Chain A
Amino acid sequence: MESYVSHRDRLWLYIFVGLVIFYLVVPMLIVIPVSFSSTTAMTFPPRGWSLRWYEAFFGEQKWIGSLWVSLRVATLTMIVTTLAGVAASYTLHQSSFRLSETIRATLISPLAVPSILIGVGIFFVYARIGGLLNTTAGLVLGHSVVALPFVMLTMSAGFSSFDMSQEMVARSLGANRFKAFVTVTLPQVKFSVATSMLLSFLVSFDELIISLMVASGPMSTLSRVTFATLRDDVDPTLAAVSTLMLIVTSVPPLLLHLYASRVRARNGRNAG
């Protein structure tokens, strides 16, 4: 919807929005230069340049160990939630299911619940049941709760623009349900599946509160160690960690988003 108002009349709007965007984007970039500072004071601009904080990060067990934990847990969460979410979303998409709307709402509901509640609840359950506190499985299950809604939303959008009669045709041509799904449906929603995988990985990698409640010590995730260091014992290694996290959590979605735009533009040109 374009407006018939001239650009000059809206100049104040452009300036205001420009300032807001500046406020949104620029501050978080400050960790990058600070991470290369040669001093322990986290000033900007840094007084000298060095890689010592990165060396500190890769050198210390607490950092490397927790990075390992986070990667492992995030990968497993990605696998679990993507499989469960794609299966559920696909089934719900077949319209003849009576309760599908209720179920879909239930699966998305964790988004509306503050994660402190989920974290505390899971903590109590684990403490009672035993065997899941401070374990990879416990972390993966906890992260899956908060990651699943993202998969459901992404796959819902993906399936909704998919024409189910293609699967029907495939079945009429001789493919059973599973083969039809794999050869016809999946290749066409593979972008949504990739997005789901990325989102669930990042949600888990970034997750703090549940990890805080459920695992500590050697099973601490990277975000938990980062948070503890931030709260108790601020240390410029944090800048290096933050830069790495910044890259990990913002670059892949950015690339995916750009790739999607290009694919969409290409399909738009070829539509006919």
Chain B
Amino acid sequence: MTERKTSALPVQVQMLSKHFGTVRAVEDVSFDIRAGELLTLLGPSGSGKTTLLMMIAGFSRPTRGSIRIADQEIVHLPPHKRNIGMVFQNYALFPHMTVGENVAYPLRLRRFGRSEIEDRTRRALDMVQLGGYGARRINELSGGQRQRIALARAIVFEPRILLMDEPLSALDKHLREAMQIEIRQLHDRLGMTTISVTHDQREALTMSDRIAVFSSGRLAQIGAPAELYEKPESRFIAEFIGESTFLPLRHTPAGPAYGEQVIHFADEVKPAAGEMLLMLRPERLRLVPANGTAGGGKDANVFTGQVQTIVFQGESLLFEVMLDGGHKVSVRMANRSENLRQLPQAGDRVALKLERADARVVRAEG
């Protein structure tokens, strides 16, 4: 990792709520953001993530709660006094100004001197790899270029934090993936604390230091991408990030069990209130022929069943397997020649092997 400038200051959100009449768009959300971190607010539409971003930016008035930036309460400050950079979903570049004038706008508002403005504008444009575009008009730019200009304009005055509202949703798939990496690199160079909003879990996983997942206005879980992927706490999170299928568990004296089969976990699983599920990531299950030795024991869990369908998806194959226990499970296998040598066919009986370390319990509701 490149060295980060720790000039950015932390953000503290406490008990923030936004009610529209009886609708609770955001309910009692609290979290901290660390200096220089890129935090992504992730969730389906209607989860409250955009409303939350708007409250931090100052465009939506919270019903109650507190927002602090560097220990300064800002919840009642108008947007223009918050010194926050923001990139809107549709970029909102000023069509009646040139690229250079757009980027220089916040500097002019802050009464910087002319040479200082020119200098900073040039540097900001260079940083987004659009140096020399200063004289162009907005309608001459492509979507990806506009997005970069919007970024340049948002960072040119060195705000304390940067907000991005679904910055990549207007771009096509290839450009989006390239931009995800570029934004991440830009963030590393600037070391600016950044909050990004998206509904695309892949984007969140690629770009973020931490992800905050929202559901129905509440913060469901917050953590690093790997953490959320490996240890989701609820079915909602497990389904939203990555793919999973689930098997119902019941409690037995020997531990949680799927039907009669006791499941082996890496750590001891404490019984908890509410329904518990076994989360199965398709790529963590290994198909072995049913007649071979299971190779199980206490280090792996083995399930038996019958292959229903096989779907070719380019870089991987997706198997739908009906377990003997009556549940359907997905298995993903990398498209490699060594796998293709002994490929099960539809209708074959197979065994699925789940390593103990990969076995994970999630709450049914979350």
A contacts, CB < 8 Å to B:
163, 165-166, 168-177, 179-180, 183-184, 187-188, 267, 270-272
Query: What is the CA–CA distance of A169 and B146 in the complex, to the nearest angstrom?
Result: 14
B113-151 CB mask vs A (1 if < 8 Å, else 0) is 000000000000000000000000001100000000000
Given the known A-B contacts A171-B78, A171-B79, A173-B106, are A165 and B90 also in contact in the complex, defined by CB atoms under 8 Å?
A: yes
Query: What is the CA–CA distance of A270 and B92 in the complex, to the nearest angstrom?
Result: 18
Residues of B near A183 (CB, < 8 A) are 105
A169 touches B86 (CB 8 A): yes
Q: Which residue from B80, B90, B163 sits with its C-beta under 8 Å from A171? A: B80
Q: Which residue from B92, B95, B163 sits with its C-beta under 8 Å from A165? A: B92
In angstroms, how far is the closest chain A Cβ from the Cβ of B30? Answer: 24
A174 touches B59 (CB 8 A): no
State which residues 51-101 of B face A: CB under 8 Å: 57-59, 78-80, 82-86, 88, 90, 92, 94-96
A166 touches B94 (CB 8 A): yes
B contacts, CB < 8 Å to A:
57-59, 78-80, 82-86, 88, 90, 92, 94-96, 105-106, 109-110, 139-140, 153-154, 157, 163
Given the known A-B contacts A165-B90, A176-B80, A188-B95, are A272 and B139 also in contact in the complex, defined by CB atoms under 8 Å?
A: yes
CB pairs A–B below 8 angstroms (13 shown): A163-B90, A165-B92, A168-B79, A169-B86, A171-B59, A171-B80, A172-B86, A173-B86, A173-B106, A174-B83, A174-B109, A174-B110, A175-B109
Q: Is the interface of A mostly helix, strand, loop or mixed?
A: helix
In angstroms, how far is the closest chain A Cβ from the Cβ of B272? Answer: 43
A169 touches B92 (CB 8 A): yes
Question: Residue of B at shortest CB range from A267?
Answer: B139
CB < 8 Å A-B pair total: 64
Residues of B near A176 (CB, < 8 A) are 78, 80
A188 touches B96 (CB 8 A): yes
Question: Residue of A at shortest CB range from B150?
Answer: A169
Query: What is the CA–CA distance of A183 and B96 in the complex, to the nearest angstrom?
Result: 10
In angstroms, how far is the closest chain B Cβ from the Cβ of A266? Answer: 10
Closest 8 CB pairs of A and B: A173-B106, A172-B86, A169-B92, A174-B109, A171-B79, A165-B92, A187-B96, A166-B92
Q: Which residue from A173, A177, A188, A272 sits with its C-beta under 8 Å from B105? A: A173
Residues of A near B140 (CB, < 8 A) are 270, 272
Residues of A near B85 (CB, < 8 A) are 172-173
In angstroms, how far is the closest chain B Cβ from the Cβ of A158? Answer: 14
In angstroms, how far is the closest chain B Cβ from the Cβ of A268? Answer: 11
